[in-house]
Amino acid sequence: MVEAAPQTSHDTELLHAIARGDESALAALYDRYHSILLGLLLRILHSRVEAEDVLQEVFLQIWQRAANFDEARGRAFTWMVTLARSRAIDRLRALQSRQRADDTALRDAPDPVGDASDDAYHAEQREIVRAALAQIPEEQRRALLLAYFEGLTQSEIAARLGQPLGTVKTRMRSGLGKLRDLLGEKMGRGAGLNF
């Protein structure tokens, strides 16, 4: 349950000022409600990083849509809570969708065909690679999985993730570097790691 905030005409006045482009009104509204909204977001997302990111999106949305607030339909606080909750649920769905895609890509990695000793050797190598992939940050892992298991180009990955191309390139480069180090430790240097 979200902490109740007292209704004041001050909140409505702040939203009207924000609609006119008053940055100090946005700062005042942020100071007043950021901790309450962050608490709500944390309860939904269970991640401080995600909650803080969504909180920034919520206040950006308040900045962009303050003129849409209709005091006849409800309180300013209720409107902000509704925005925050909607954003959090959207983020939660996106995170779950990405996790399912990652899990599917890992599970559906093609198995090489060969004799029993080759199969055992390749199964062991796949397990080492999966374990190494699990150790790198999610953003880097997601980009690498999209490239190597779905065959997407870096530009296609940037479009799919809604991120700048430079960010995707950096994440892939960093992810490959970390994988190289992790796999080098587990498989031994010079074990045919050609990234």
- The domains of the chain are located at 9-96, 110-187
Note the Cα 76 to chain centre separation in Å. 28
In this predicted structure, what is the pLDDT of residue 148? Answer: 78
In this predicted structure, what is the pLDDT of residue 7? Answer: 47
Question: Is domain 110-187 in CATH 3.10.580.10, yes or no?
Answer: no
Nearest to residue 129, comparing CAs of 66, 74, 179, 185?
179
In this predicted structure, what is the pLDDT of residue 69? Answer: 93
Nearest to residue 147, comparing CAs of 102, 182, 192?
102
In this predicted structure, what is the pLDDT of residue 78? Answer: 93
Task: Give the pLDDT confidence of 28-41 residue by residue, as tens digits.
Answer: 999 999 999 999 99
Model confidence pTM above 0.75? no
On the question of a common fold for 9-96 and 110-187, the answer reads no
- Alpha-carbon span 165 to 157, nearest angstrom: 8
Rg of the chain over all Cα atoms, to the nearest angstrom: 23
All residue ranges of the chain with pLDDT < 50 are 1-2, 4-5, 7, 190-192
Q: Which CATH class is domain 9-96?
A: mainly alpha
